[in-house]
Structure 1
């Protein structure tokens, strides 16, 4: 009976039960796509990551319970944590070949730092139906990348959001981030992705490839602190250098290790 290691890692937190959980499955060779999807469905986490060693780096893929996705930050962080802290990788920089190009993860100042391509949000007219689906009385602005970014000014509204997920799924975007300035952090957010099978993702690293450039420009800062989540929250450090990239950093904690039997 084929057997595969599985690790569950809480990303963007220093201790279990915070941040965003991801499953990580190291492989010697790729399994059929249907099997990868079925494992992700069985894990029933927002993301399951798989990686295969290739020459001087790794091929990395991410699956929600419903679909394979182009980019996932927290599962990349979780994969790097497993390689560095569990499997003893000696690389100074981990290089991942993905559907979003090469992603790099390094260790810096007690954090895992992920180097991702930046996405510059483009302003759009605010859609009343979107605000209605989110249960928001209004918004300052709406932007779009592969997500919608809904900007509000009152961070107190963030925790109380109770979206209509069926209505949100009708919008032709990967997900919807609602974000606001914060007294404790530079900005806070929540992210909803019913269209890709994830009603709410507690901490979405990939969303910060759009959120960080927006807030860096608005606040005139290249290094920002952020928190994402509702009942469950995680913390991120974002750096926006002038090179079309975003460096997203955070901690991670191992929660579970086990075996998959197929």
Structure 2
């Protein structure tokens, strides 16, 4: 951290809660500072549980020398976010609650953390065969675009789409949580560190040299247990 005069994350979080939410029933500090992954640009993710709030909301502030992201809930609204995160297989709120350091607790945090931990442990809903085939088709389509393209500018964007589809397919067919941005790699690493490194290496080689070979091989290996690429006979919405 470059600002040596600012409060520590815990000090700043405690002060923020005491000043802005003195009557809340519980508060947690989550995010990269809790995981030991903070950078100069990291912010403080603070989850608030306040029975007086009519609705949940998110707010961004700068106080005490820190960028602060507030995730404010009443004592039931967080459940809807747990449900939405479960359905999209991206457990943002459950992860924050699970990993969060307790800033304040009037006897509610243990049960909420248990809800989050149970959800994370059970994993996302299993994909149906229909969903697998649909995802397999679109992954195959992106792979064929990638193989066939000779336009470097277009290839860069095709590769980006392919990486997202491929990571989602691997994780969801193995009932693992997915993520976006930096959480794509973190999710892959949580699932299988060796595969995550192979994934990164394949795309890194393509971006540096234009060689598509390892990306194609990786995608073919992922699709192979499900019957390989899918085109002939696929339909969507036909009655």
Q: Would you call these one fold, judging by a TM-score over 0.5?
A: no
Relative contact order (C-alpha < 8 Å, sep 6+): which is higher?
1
Using the size of structure 1 for normalisation, the TM-score is 0.33
Using the size of structure 2 for normalisation, the TM-score is 0.36
Q: Say which structure is richer in helix.
A: 2
Q: Say which structure is richer in strand.
A: 1
